[in-house]
A and B are shown apart, each in its own frame.
Chain A
Amino acid sequence: MESFLLADAESVVARARQGEEAALEALYRAFEGPVYNLARRICRTKEDAEDVLQETFFEVCRSIGRYREEGSLWGWIRTIAASKALMRLRRNKYRDTDELHDELVGHLKEETHLRMDLEAALERLSEVSRAVVWLHDVEGYTHDEIAGMMGKTASFSKSQLARAHARLRRWLGEEVAA
Protein backbone atom coordinates (compact mmCIF):
# COMPACT_ATOMS: atom_id res chain seq x y z
CA MET A 1 0.00 0.00 0.00
CA GLU A 2 2.73 2.50 0.87
CA SER A 3 4.38 2.20 -2.52
CA PHE A 4 1.11 3.49 -3.88
CA LEU A 5 0.61 6.13 -1.19
CA LEU A 6 4.15 7.24 -0.71
CA ALA A 7 6.72 7.13 -3.46
CA ASP A 8 10.24 6.80 -2.08
CA ALA A 9 9.03 5.64 1.35
CA GLU A 10 12.54 4.55 2.34
CA SER A 11 14.14 7.97 2.04
CA VAL A 12 11.13 9.69 3.61
CA VAL A 13 11.39 7.37 6.62
CA ALA A 14 15.14 7.95 6.86
CA ARG A 15 14.64 11.71 6.85
CA ALA A 16 11.73 11.46 9.30
CA ARG A 17 14.03 9.56 11.66
CA GLN A 18 16.40 12.51 11.57
CA GLY A 19 13.50 14.59 12.78
CA GLU A 20 13.00 16.44 9.52
CA GLU A 21 9.62 18.12 9.64
CA ALA A 22 8.99 18.02 5.90
CA ALA A 23 9.44 14.24 5.95
CA LEU A 24 7.11 13.87 8.94
CA GLU A 25 4.54 15.92 7.08
CA ALA A 26 4.99 13.74 3.99
CA LEU A 27 4.13 10.72 6.15
CA TYR A 28 1.05 12.50 7.44
CA ARG A 29 -0.11 13.47 3.94
CA ALA A 30 0.41 9.96 2.62
CA PHE A 31 -1.50 8.18 5.36
CA GLU A 32 -4.02 10.66 6.78
CA GLY A 33 -6.78 9.28 4.51
CA PRO A 34 -6.55 5.60 5.46
CA VAL A 35 -5.89 6.42 9.14
CA TYR A 36 -8.94 8.68 9.33
CA ASN A 37 -11.09 6.14 7.48
CA LEU A 38 -10.12 3.41 9.93
CA ALA A 39 -10.70 5.69 12.91
CA ARG A 40 -14.02 6.92 11.56
CA ARG A 41 -15.27 3.36 11.06
CA ILE A 42 -14.49 2.54 14.68
CA CYS A 43 -15.32 5.79 16.49
CA ARG A 44 -18.79 7.12 16.92
CA THR A 45 -18.20 10.71 15.86
CA LYS A 46 -16.15 12.62 13.31
CA GLU A 47 -14.55 14.59 16.13
CA ASP A 48 -13.38 11.40 17.85
CA ALA A 49 -11.99 10.11 14.57
CA GLU A 50 -10.09 13.35 13.97
CA ASP A 51 -8.66 13.19 17.47
CA VAL A 52 -7.52 9.64 16.78
CA LEU A 53 -5.93 10.86 13.54
CA GLN A 54 -4.01 13.49 15.48
CA GLU A 55 -2.97 11.15 18.30
CA THR A 56 -1.86 8.52 15.78
CA PHE A 57 0.45 10.85 13.92
CA PHE A 58 1.85 12.38 17.06
CA GLU A 59 2.79 8.85 18.06
CA VAL A 60 4.18 8.14 14.57
CA CYS A 61 6.39 11.27 14.73
CA ARG A 62 7.61 10.35 18.19
CA SER A 63 8.42 6.73 17.55
CA ILE A 64 9.40 6.60 13.88
CA GLY A 65 12.90 5.79 15.17
CA ARG A 66 11.53 2.56 16.62
CA TYR A 67 9.85 1.45 13.36
CA ARG A 68 11.68 -1.55 11.91
CA GLU A 69 11.60 -1.94 8.18
CA GLU A 70 10.83 -5.65 8.09
CA GLY A 71 7.13 -4.85 8.59
CA SER A 72 5.20 -2.66 6.19
CA LEU A 73 5.02 1.02 7.03
CA TRP A 74 1.26 1.11 6.58
CA GLY A 75 0.90 -1.99 8.77
CA TRP A 76 2.86 -0.25 11.52
CA ILE A 77 0.89 3.01 11.27
CA ARG A 78 -2.40 1.13 11.00
CA THR A 79 -1.83 -0.76 14.21
CA ILE A 80 -1.06 2.48 16.05
CA ALA A 81 -4.29 3.96 14.64
CA ALA A 82 -6.38 0.91 15.55
CA SER A 83 -5.02 0.89 19.11
CA LYS A 84 -5.71 4.61 19.54
CA ALA A 85 -9.25 4.21 18.20
CA LEU A 86 -9.98 1.25 20.48
CA MET A 87 -8.51 3.15 23.43
CA ARG A 88 -10.93 5.96 22.70
CA LEU A 89 -13.85 3.53 22.62
CA ARG A 90 -12.84 2.21 26.02
CA ARG A 91 -12.53 5.70 27.37
CA ASN A 92 -15.97 6.61 26.05
CA LYS A 93 -17.48 3.67 27.94
CA TYR A 94 -18.87 1.87 24.95
CA ARG A 95 -21.79 -0.50 25.12
CA ASP A 96 -20.78 -4.10 24.98
CA THR A 97 -24.10 -5.28 23.61
CA ASP A 98 -26.36 -4.09 20.89
CA GLU A 99 -29.61 -5.24 22.38
CA LEU A 100 -30.80 -1.67 22.38
CA HIS A 101 -30.21 -1.52 18.65
CA ASP A 102 -32.02 -4.80 18.14
CA GLU A 103 -35.08 -3.56 19.93
CA LEU A 104 -35.13 -0.30 18.10
CA VAL A 105 -34.48 -1.75 14.69
CA GLY A 106 -36.81 -4.71 15.15
CA HIS A 107 -39.55 -2.28 16.05
CA LEU A 108 -38.89 -0.05 13.06
CA LYS A 109 -38.69 -2.96 10.73
CA GLU A 110 -42.06 -4.38 11.74
CA GLU A 111 -43.71 -1.07 11.06
CA THR A 112 -42.05 0.08 7.90
CA HIS A 113 -40.26 -2.94 6.44
CA LEU A 114 -37.25 -0.74 6.66
CA ARG A 115 -34.28 -1.79 4.64
CA MET A 116 -31.12 -0.01 5.59
CA ASP A 117 -28.19 0.63 3.36
CA LEU A 118 -24.83 -0.72 4.41
CA GLU A 119 -23.52 2.55 5.86
CA ALA A 120 -26.58 2.96 8.05
CA ALA A 121 -26.49 -0.67 9.17
CA LEU A 122 -22.81 -0.40 10.06
CA GLU A 123 -23.55 2.73 12.02
CA ARG A 124 -26.19 0.91 14.04
CA LEU A 125 -23.93 -1.85 15.24
CA SER A 126 -22.50 -1.45 18.72
CA GLU A 127 -19.07 0.18 18.73
CA VAL A 128 -17.37 -3.08 19.65
CA SER A 129 -19.14 -5.13 16.98
CA ARG A 130 -18.40 -2.53 14.36
CA ALA A 131 -14.75 -2.36 15.36
CA VAL A 132 -14.43 -6.15 15.15
CA VAL A 133 -16.13 -6.37 11.74
CA TRP A 134 -14.02 -3.58 10.36
CA LEU A 135 -10.70 -4.78 11.74
CA HIS A 136 -11.30 -8.40 10.76
CA ASP A 137 -13.19 -8.25 7.47
CA VAL A 138 -11.83 -5.05 5.95
CA GLU A 139 -8.41 -4.46 7.50
CA GLY A 140 -7.59 -8.15 7.67
CA TYR A 141 -6.56 -8.51 11.31
CA THR A 142 -6.87 -11.98 12.86
CA HIS A 143 -9.06 -12.67 15.89
CA ASP A 144 -5.92 -13.09 17.99
CA GLU A 145 -4.61 -9.70 16.92
CA ILE A 146 -7.97 -8.02 17.56
CA ALA A 147 -8.20 -9.71 20.95
CA GLY A 148 -4.73 -8.41 21.79
CA MET A 149 -5.62 -4.85 20.84
CA MET A 150 -8.94 -4.96 22.69
CA GLY A 151 -7.74 -6.71 25.80
CA LYS A 152 -10.28 -9.50 25.19
CA THR A 153 -10.10 -13.12 24.09
CA ALA A 154 -10.08 -14.43 20.52
CA SER A 155 -13.39 -16.17 21.13
CA PHE A 156 -14.90 -12.85 22.20
CA SER A 157 -13.78 -11.41 18.87
CA LYS A 158 -15.21 -14.40 16.99
CA SER A 159 -18.59 -14.22 18.63
CA GLN A 160 -18.77 -10.44 18.15
CA LEU A 161 -18.08 -10.96 14.46
CA ALA A 162 -20.80 -13.60 14.09
CA ARG A 163 -23.33 -11.46 15.96
CA ALA A 164 -22.45 -8.46 13.85
CA HIS A 165 -22.99 -10.44 10.64
CA ALA A 166 -26.28 -11.84 11.88
CA ARG A 167 -27.49 -8.32 12.55
CA LEU A 168 -26.17 -6.83 9.33
CA ARG A 169 -27.86 -9.57 7.39
CA ARG A 170 -31.16 -8.89 9.05
CA TRP A 171 -30.96 -5.13 8.81
CA LEU A 172 -29.88 -5.17 5.19
CA GLY A 173 -32.93 -7.25 4.37
CA GLU A 174 -30.78 -9.73 2.51
CA GLU A 175 -33.28 -12.54 3.03
CA VAL A 176 -35.46 -10.80 0.45
CA ALA A 177 -32.62 -9.87 -1.87
CA ALA A 178 -31.07 -13.27 -2.49
Chain B
Amino acid sequence: MIHLSMETLVGLREAGMEPGAAAAREHLDACALCRAELERLHQRVARLKALPPLRPARDRWPAVRDRVRAERRRQRARFAGLSGLAAAASVALALAVSTLRQPEAGLTPAKIEQTMARSQVLESAIDRIDPESRVLDGRTAGIAQELEDRIARVDRELEMVELTEPQSRDSDLLRLWRERVGLLDALVDVHATRASYVGL
Protein backbone atom coordinates (compact mmCIF):
# COMPACT_ATOMS: atom_id res chain seq x y z
CA MET B 1 0.00 0.00 0.00
CA ILE B 2 1.24 3.49 -0.85
CA HIS B 3 0.76 5.81 2.11
CA LEU B 4 -0.15 9.46 1.91
CA SER B 5 2.67 11.94 1.39
CA MET B 6 3.24 14.80 3.81
CA GLU B 7 2.11 17.16 1.07
CA THR B 8 -1.21 15.33 0.82
CA LEU B 9 -1.64 15.21 4.60
CA VAL B 10 -0.88 18.91 4.93
CA GLY B 11 -3.34 19.62 2.09
CA LEU B 12 -6.08 17.59 3.79
CA ARG B 13 -6.37 20.29 6.44
CA GLU B 14 -7.50 22.79 3.82
CA ALA B 15 -11.13 23.08 2.78
CA GLY B 16 -10.91 19.78 0.91
CA MET B 17 -10.86 21.24 -2.58
CA GLU B 18 -7.40 19.91 -3.37
CA PRO B 19 -7.32 17.58 -6.37
CA GLY B 20 -7.19 14.00 -5.14
CA ALA B 21 -8.64 14.91 -1.76
CA ALA B 22 -11.47 12.40 -2.10
CA ALA B 23 -9.09 9.53 -2.86
CA ALA B 24 -6.85 10.61 0.00
CA ARG B 25 -9.78 10.57 2.41
CA GLU B 26 -10.75 7.14 1.22
CA HIS B 27 -7.22 5.93 1.91
CA LEU B 28 -7.32 7.56 5.31
CA ASP B 29 -10.50 5.69 6.24
CA ALA B 30 -8.79 2.43 5.46
CA CYS B 31 -5.31 3.13 6.84
CA ALA B 32 -4.58 3.46 10.56
CA LEU B 33 -0.98 4.44 9.86
CA CYS B 34 -1.94 7.51 7.84
CA ARG B 35 -4.62 8.42 10.35
CA ALA B 36 -1.96 8.40 13.06
CA GLU B 37 0.27 10.52 10.85
CA LEU B 38 -2.49 13.09 10.35
CA GLU B 39 -3.10 13.11 14.08
CA ARG B 40 0.63 13.80 14.67
CA LEU B 41 0.39 16.69 12.24
CA HIS B 42 -2.57 18.15 14.13
CA GLN B 43 -0.72 17.75 17.41
CA ARG B 44 2.40 19.38 16.01
CA VAL B 45 0.40 22.40 14.87
CA ALA B 46 -1.33 22.59 18.25
CA ARG B 47 2.07 22.57 19.94
CA LEU B 48 3.34 25.30 17.62
CA LYS B 49 0.35 27.45 18.52
CA ALA B 50 0.95 26.81 22.20
CA LEU B 51 4.59 27.95 22.19
CA PRO B 52 5.08 30.69 24.78
CA PRO B 53 5.08 34.16 23.19
CA LEU B 54 8.51 35.79 22.91
CA ARG B 55 8.89 39.33 24.20
CA PRO B 56 11.32 42.02 23.03
CA ALA B 57 14.21 42.68 25.40
CA ARG B 58 14.25 46.38 24.67
CA ASP B 59 11.61 49.08 24.41
CA ARG B 60 11.62 50.28 20.81
CA TRP B 61 8.90 52.89 21.26
CA PRO B 62 11.29 55.84 21.88
CA ALA B 63 13.02 55.08 18.57
CA VAL B 64 9.68 54.84 16.73
CA ARG B 65 8.44 58.07 18.30
CA ASP B 66 11.59 59.99 17.44
CA ARG B 67 11.33 58.91 13.81
CA VAL B 68 7.68 59.91 13.70
CA ARG B 69 8.51 63.32 15.16
CA ALA B 70 11.42 63.87 12.81
CA GLU B 71 9.28 62.99 9.83
CA ARG B 72 6.50 65.27 11.01
CA ARG B 73 8.90 68.17 11.23
CA ARG B 74 10.21 67.46 7.75
CA GLN B 75 6.66 67.40 6.41
CA ARG B 76 5.81 70.58 8.25
CA ALA B 77 8.84 72.33 6.82
CA ARG B 78 7.90 71.17 3.34
CA PHE B 79 4.27 72.13 3.85
CA ALA B 80 5.17 75.55 5.23
CA GLY B 81 7.58 76.07 2.33
CA LEU B 82 4.95 75.30 -0.28
CA SER B 83 2.30 77.37 1.45
CA GLY B 84 4.80 80.19 1.68
CA LEU B 85 5.23 80.17 -2.08
CA ALA B 86 1.48 80.07 -2.62
CA ALA B 87 0.99 82.90 -0.16
CA ALA B 88 3.69 84.99 -1.79
CA ALA B 89 1.94 84.52 -5.12
CA SER B 90 -1.43 85.45 -3.69
CA VAL B 91 0.05 88.51 -1.97
CA ALA B 92 1.56 89.65 -5.25
CA LEU B 93 -1.77 89.14 -6.94
CA ALA B 94 -3.68 90.87 -4.15
CA LEU B 95 -1.35 93.84 -4.24
CA ALA B 96 -1.68 94.09 -8.00
CA VAL B 97 -5.46 93.99 -7.69
CA SER B 98 -5.55 96.36 -4.73
CA THR B 99 -3.58 99.04 -6.52
CA LEU B 100 -6.29 98.91 -9.16
CA ARG B 101 -9.41 98.98 -7.04
CA GLN B 102 -9.60 97.60 -3.47
CA PRO B 103 -6.93 99.07 -1.21
CA GLU B 104 -7.95 96.95 1.84
CA ALA B 105 -8.14 93.54 0.09
CA GLY B 106 -4.41 92.91 0.33
CA LEU B 107 -4.23 93.22 4.08
CA THR B 108 -5.18 89.67 5.11
CA PRO B 109 -2.87 87.84 2.68
CA ALA B 110 -0.02 90.09 3.79
CA LYS B 111 -0.74 89.25 7.41
CA ILE B 112 -0.89 85.56 6.54
CA GLU B 113 2.49 85.77 4.93
CA GLN B 114 3.99 87.55 7.92
CA THR B 115 2.60 84.87 10.21
CA MET B 116 3.95 82.11 7.96
CA ALA B 117 7.37 83.70 7.95
CA ARG B 118 7.30 83.85 11.74
CA SER B 119 6.24 80.20 11.79
CA GLN B 120 9.24 79.25 9.67
CA VAL B 121 11.63 81.15 11.91
CA LEU B 122 10.31 79.28 14.95
CA GLU B 123 10.41 75.98 13.09
CA SER B 124 14.08 76.39 12.29
CA ALA B 125 14.77 77.49 15.87
CA ILE B 126 13.31 74.16 17.02
CA ASP B 127 15.42 72.33 14.45
CA ARG B 128 18.52 73.98 15.86
CA ILE B 129 17.56 72.87 19.37
CA ASP B 130 17.32 69.32 17.98
CA PRO B 131 14.73 68.00 20.46
CA GLU B 132 15.30 64.33 19.60
CA SER B 133 18.82 64.40 20.95
CA ARG B 134 17.68 65.72 24.33
CA VAL B 135 16.22 63.92 27.25
CA LEU B 136 13.40 65.92 28.81
CA ASP B 137 12.06 65.30 32.29
CA GLY B 138 8.64 63.67 32.39
CA ARG B 139 6.60 66.81 32.90
CA THR B 140 8.41 68.85 30.24
CA ALA B 141 8.19 65.95 27.80
CA GLY B 142 4.45 65.78 28.44
CA ILE B 143 4.01 69.46 27.65
CA ALA B 144 6.19 69.22 24.52
CA GLN B 145 4.18 66.23 23.34
CA GLU B 146 0.89 68.02 23.91
CA LEU B 147 2.13 70.99 21.88
CA GLU B 148 3.39 68.73 19.07
CA ASP B 149 -0.03 67.07 18.99
CA ARG B 150 -1.83 70.39 18.78
CA ILE B 151 0.47 71.59 15.99
CA ALA B 152 -0.26 68.39 14.08
CA ARG B 153 -4.01 69.08 14.45
CA VAL B 154 -3.61 72.66 13.22
CA ASP B 155 -1.64 71.36 10.22
CA ARG B 156 -4.48 69.00 9.37
CA GLU B 157 -6.96 71.87 9.55
CA LEU B 158 -4.69 73.98 7.37
CA GLU B 159 -4.61 71.25 4.75
CA MET B 160 -8.41 71.16 4.77
CA VAL B 161 -8.70 74.93 4.48
CA GLU B 162 -6.22 74.96 1.58
CA LEU B 163 -8.77 72.92 -0.34
CA THR B 164 -11.65 75.37 0.14
CA GLU B 165 -12.62 78.35 -2.04
CA PRO B 166 -9.92 81.03 -2.13
CA GLN B 167 -12.43 83.83 -1.37
CA SER B 168 -13.58 82.38 1.92
CA ARG B 169 -10.42 80.86 3.27
CA ASP B 170 -8.18 83.80 4.07
CA SER B 171 -9.57 84.54 7.52
CA ASP B 172 -9.40 80.85 8.43
CA LEU B 173 -5.84 80.65 7.18
CA LEU B 174 -4.81 83.64 9.20
CA ARG B 175 -6.45 82.29 12.35
CA LEU B 176 -4.80 78.87 11.95
CA TRP B 177 -1.36 80.24 11.11
CA ARG B 178 -1.58 82.47 14.17
CA GLU B 179 -2.56 79.53 16.33
CA ARG B 180 0.33 77.59 14.88
CA VAL B 181 2.81 80.35 15.66
CA GLY B 182 1.47 80.54 19.22
CA LEU B 183 2.00 76.81 19.67
CA LEU B 184 5.47 76.88 18.13
CA ASP B 185 6.38 79.78 20.40
CA ALA B 186 5.31 77.75 23.40
CA LEU B 187 7.28 74.77 22.12
CA VAL B 188 10.43 76.85 21.71
CA ASP B 189 9.91 78.09 25.27
CA VAL B 190 9.61 74.56 26.59
CA HIS B 191 12.85 73.51 24.92
CA ALA B 192 14.67 76.73 25.75
CA THR B 193 13.73 76.42 29.43
CA ARG B 194 15.04 72.92 29.42
CA ALA B 195 18.21 74.08 27.66
CA SER B 196 18.87 76.67 30.34
CA TYR B 197 18.57 73.96 33.01
CA VAL B 198 21.22 71.99 31.17
CA GLY B 199 23.44 75.05 31.13
CA LEU B 200 23.27 75.51 34.91
Q: How far is the CA of A174 from the CA of B63 in the complex (A)?
A: 44
Q: Which residue of A lies closest to B11 (CB)?
A: A158
- Judging by beta carbons under 8 Å apart, are A21 and B149 in contact? yes
Q: How far is the CA of A49 from the CA of B44 in the complex (A)?
A: 24
CB contacts under 8 Å to B, within A141-178, are: 158-159, 161-163, 165-166, 168-169, 172, 174, 178
Query: For the complex, is A137 an interface residue (Cβ under 8 Å from B)?
Result: yes
- Judging by beta carbons under 8 Å apart, are A118 and B56 in contact? no
- Tally of chain B residues near chain A (CB < 8 A): 37
CB contacts under 8 Å to A, within B1-53, are: 5-7, 9-11, 36, 39-41, 44-45, 47-49, 51, 53
The secondary-structure label for the interface of chain A is helix
- Judging by beta carbons under 8 Å apart, are B64 and A28 in contact? yes
CB neighbours of A174 from chain B (8 A): 40, 44
- Judging by beta carbons under 8 Å apart, are B6 and A165 in contact? yes
- Judging by beta carbons under 8 Å apart, are B5 and A162 in contact? yes
Tell which of B7, B68, B153 touches A18, judged by Cβ atoms closer than 8 Å: B153
Chain A contact residues (Cβ within 8 angstroms of B): what range? 35 or more
- Judging by beta carbons under 8 Å apart, are B65 and A33 in contact? no
CB neighbours of B53 from chain A (8 A): 33-34, 37
Q: Which residue of A lies closest to B59 (CB)?
A: A32
- Judging by beta carbons under 8 Å apart, are A137 and B60 in contact? no
Tell which of B10, B56, B65 touches A158, judged by Cβ atoms closer than 8 Å: B10
- Judging by beta carbons under 8 Å apart, are B67 and A137 in contact? no
Instruction: State whether A162 and B60 are in contact (beta carbons under 8 Å apart), knowing that A34-B53, A168-B44 are contacts in the complex.
Output: no
Q: Which of A55-63, A87-95, A98-106, A107-115 contacts B (4 or more CB under 8 A)?
A: A55-63
Given A54-B63, A169-B44, 18 extra CB contacts under 8 A: A18-B156, A21-B65, A21-B149, A22-B145, A22-B149, A33-B53, A33-B55, A37-B54, A46-B57, A118-B44, A118-B48, A134-B48, A138-B48, A159-B7, A162-B11, A168-B44, A178-B39, A178-B40
The chain A residues found within 8 Å of chain B, CB to CB, are: 18-22, 24-25, 28-29, 32-34, 36-37, 40-41, 46, 49-50, 53-54, 57-58, 61-62, 118-119, 122, 133-134, 137-138, 158-159, 161-163, 165-166, 168-169, 172, 174, 178
